[in-house]
Structure 1
């Protein structure tokens, strides 16, 4: 590891000094539990239900947002019964997904994307890129059939998690080559626009990142369900399952809560949590961490050098989604801001532009007459919500200035959600140094087990399946600890 990175990690570890010593809170806010779950997204909520209801294990679920659901974001249109999904769009028929929805009595229906007229816009000028040619459906499907044959070969390495990821000498060479070389060799270019649109991968470009990152983002199960039109959505809204899970878990959930400090030993965790004006001390046997594992988020957990060395390898990208009323864009249109270098069919350049390292898409949502659009903004650098709003305002203003739209572009933001999280952007050299094995070597280390998108295929259904593999190991860990304590 370069000396600069080593010094950075040492400084981070030294700065993470505990504030728990001598902390006192009222007895009513001291909670004792088997497992403290940090993060109430897909994996944390699923784990809470499984541990408490199926494994007779006590839990406390800690979530910083005022609701459960993570990347699921639903907007209820005022004075209507209409809900708009601006986060997670659909689910795969994989692993425990169907059973999890059935558990809460939620009916399912096939997913059908809204048919929109797509207009591709020069991100720099706001002019329509009339010479850009999207791949036709036959070319796209043929490319995805080739993609499916490839990702299916590697499914056991990547889904639902990386427990079976090969050691350095056996890592497939396909994983390590730049994606541009790989895509051209296998004639996959026509699949690239859809891969980018569905997965959200590739902010800053997909030419140079190693192919593994694209295989992770768009694996075998997603490809097969897409080709066979097998994806589904719950009747009602995507948030319904999390609302019902929250109602079911009741007081075992602490919403609007943040972890302020953690004292960890091999057998016991003491966690200081603040919920608005109330502080809790949670005493747990183990922690199940399901939030994005950035060094910033992990700071209260006092990571040591081993942990910091692994988690310092993640790249910090930004992704925001939202709903806005945009007066100048016709309904039933999708506005896709892309770099002009993609013209006419350079699909590998769709997210490449040195001076414009971000992506914006505006998709009409309905209901008719309201002018509502789903906003998706991503970048390969850190953005704030104000930055995102400014990018959207600047983008629509360019549409207006270029004469691409004929009306004045008023933008009224209705709802938004920050889906930013650390991303896999490790190099071939890091993988060959055993990075995945080092990552998985942190499972159970110093009392923390991990679930979530970093640890396997990043779709809700595969995340739930991976969580099941971790829960079995976590429960064995607790059982061994209890057995050792009894013998002592």
Structure 2
């Protein structure tokens, strides 16, 4: 499957203030011995490192940025001081995974803030309003979301917290394999699709032609339960989800090597792994981590896996995954109206075709950020919107990006034909091969709490025998 690039308001990422990072394990020695080396300090890798420490194992966590948390960050509006969660917006209730937040001393009793926005529907290719478009009525939307949730819950154990119970070829339900557009028509849930697209699914690209199981991972049952008021969407009282990863960083201390990446490795079945890590600071200092197990907690793209000397059987599986590159940010422009949401809408969607959406590359929406002075989540061709009168102001005014970030490749997927041919079973067979294990969204859903539960199931096997 080809990779696409898509610009999206999903998963905003920011530059943010963090406590000074610990010196790092490579500052102490050129060679480090650990039970497990974890590559990637996002939601999956940070949780895994804490879990391993809590279960009596020594750990080295390698993170390419200078902070933990991956797509979870916070930006403070300098005008109001309001913390803006950029990236993960809330922790969705899933099994007992709030226990991890509590274990790190962070409360889940905060309140989310939602602005009452006036919606405008605009063709971002031309900047012109899409006259006559009517969004689904709330009653129709919520009824359709319930039907979608019923289907998600029917197949939930096959997909979440991972593919542990995914059926073998020949027994995969056709609902999971059919293109999502066909699934929408079969279950008459088109009124739910705009909400799913606005929330997360726009990041999947041409999502109406993607196997439905991947939509059920991008917009999974925990998220839809929260939308319908049947599950919690939690934030801490501080409002900052990144508080959790600041606590994780304090707990792990010098077991984290920040601003560093793996550049080479040796992986064996019997003698564990050796990973050469290079810092992007400290004059590019290298160190070697010897460990009994390697846990990959980043997307297993060809570029990310290059340092790990894949065998043909491994690369044949991982290179079949297609991804979408997601960019996100926060924008200021005087033409954008406070209290307004601008949704990217194709003219063909009017008056009420909820199955027609922009294709990559595209920008999903601008949404005014509540409790800020003049900030909107992400951007598009503002000049066109000004010229056509949708936004009032000067097209010559500078566009300011308080936040702009590349989230990298996300929403991994293969075709229905690959799934029918046993791809998931081949993917799962990589676990434990050459002392290497995988966590992260390529093996489950990208939602933090689902990733944490995936680790709860996977990690006992990782540490077995050490």
Q: Does TM, scored on the shorter chain, surpass 0.5?
A: yes
Moved more, 105-114 or 56-65: 105-114
Which string of whole-angstrom CA distances, capped at 9 and with x for unpartnered residues, describes residues 410-438 of structure 1? 31111222212243331111001110011
1:144-159 to 2 correspondences below 5 Å: 144-159=145-160
Query: Counterparts of 1:186 and 1:81 in 2: how far apart (Å)?
Result: 45
Query: Counterparts of 1:204 and 1:469 in 2: how far apart (Å)?
Result: 30
Q: Residue in 2 aligned with 1:264?
A: 267
User: Pick from 361, 365, 380: which aligns with 1:361?
Assistant: 365
Structure 1 residues 177 and 316: alpha-carbon distance in aligned structure 2, compared to 1, 3 A threshold: closer
Q: Residue in 1 aligned with 2:9?
A: none
Tell me if the contact between 1:131 and 1:343 (Cα under 8 Å) persists in the aligned partners. yes
Tell me if the contact between 1:325 and 1:371 (Cα under 8 Å) persists in the aligned partners. yes
Shift of 1:201: 4.1
Tell me if the contact between 1:144 and 1:191 (Cα under 8 Å) persists in the aligned partners. yes
Unpaired runs of 5+ residues, structure 1, are 2-24, 376-391, 480-488
Query: Counterparts of 2:287 and 2:81 in 1: how far apart (Å)?
Result: 38
Shift of 1:220: 2.3
Q: Residue in 2 aligned with 1:57?
A: 57
Is it true that 1:243 corresponds to 2:246 in the alignment? yes
Query: Counterparts of 2:296 and 2:236 in 1: how far apart (Å)?
Result: 27
Q: Residue in 2 aligned with 1:139?
A: 140
Which string of whole-angstrom CA distances, capped at 9 and with x for unpartnered residues, describes residues 334-381 of structure 1? 1122222222212111234xxx6423321111445x311111xxxxxx
Shift of 1:85: 1.3
Query: Counterparts of 1:78 and 1:112 in 2: how far apart (Å)?
Result: 18
Query: Counterparts of 1:173 and 1:195 in 2: how far apart (Å)?
Result: 21
Structure 1 residues 81 and 123: alpha-carbon distance in aligned structure 2, compared to 1, 3 A threshold: closer
Query: Counterparts of 1:460 and 1:204 in 2: how far apart (Å)?
Result: 21
Unpaired runs of 5+ residues, structure 2, are 2-25
Which string of whole-angstrom CA distances, capped at 9 and with x for unpartnered residues, describes residues 159-215 of structure 1? 111011000110001112122121111111000011111123454423322222212
Q: Residue in 1 aligned with 2:198?
A: 197
1:7-156 to 2 correspondences below 5 Å: 28-52=29-53, 54-78=54-78, 80-108=80-108, 109-156=110-157
Tell me if the contact between 1:259 and 1:273 (Cα under 8 Å) persists in the aligned partners. yes
Query: Counterparts of 1:195 and 1:142 in 2: how far apart (Å)?
Result: 13
Tell me if the contact between 1:338 and 1:359 (Cα under 8 Å) persists in the aligned partners. no
User: Pick from 331, 346, 349: which aligns with 1:324?
Assistant: 331
Counterpart of 2:336 in 1: which secondary structure?
coil
Is it true that 1:430 corresponds to 2:418 in the alignment? yes
Counterpart of 2:141 in 1: which secondary structure?
helix
Counterpart of 1:170 in 2: which secondary structure?
coil
Tell me if the contact between 2:201 and 2:219 (Cα under 8 Å) persists in the aligned partners. no
Tell me if the contact between 1:293 and 1:422 (Cα under 8 Å) persists in the aligned partners. no
Counterpart of 2:153 in 1: which secondary structure?
helix
Tell me if the contact between 2:202 and 2:364 (Cα under 8 Å) persists in the aligned partners. no
Structure 1 residues 119 and 286: alpha-carbon distance in aligned structure 2, compared to 1, 3 A threshold: same
RMSD over equivalenced CA pairs, Å: 1.9
Q: Residue in 2 aligned with 1:11?
A: none
Structure 1 residue runs of 4+, over 6 Å off?
Answer: none
More helix by share: 1
Structure 1 residues 201 and 306: alpha-carbon distance in aligned structure 2, compared to 1, 3 A threshold: farther
User: Pick from 253, 267, 274: which aligns with 2:278?
Assistant: 274
Is it true that 1:397 corresponds to 2:383 in the alignment? yes
Shift of 1:27: 8.2
Counterpart of 1:348 in 2: which secondary structure?
coil
Tell me if the contact between 2:344 and 2:363 (Cα under 8 Å) persists in the aligned partners. yes
Higher relative contact order (CA 8 A, sep 6+): 2
- Relative to the length of structure 1, the TM-score reads 0.85
- Relative to the length of structure 2, the TM-score reads 0.89
Shift of 1:260: 0.7
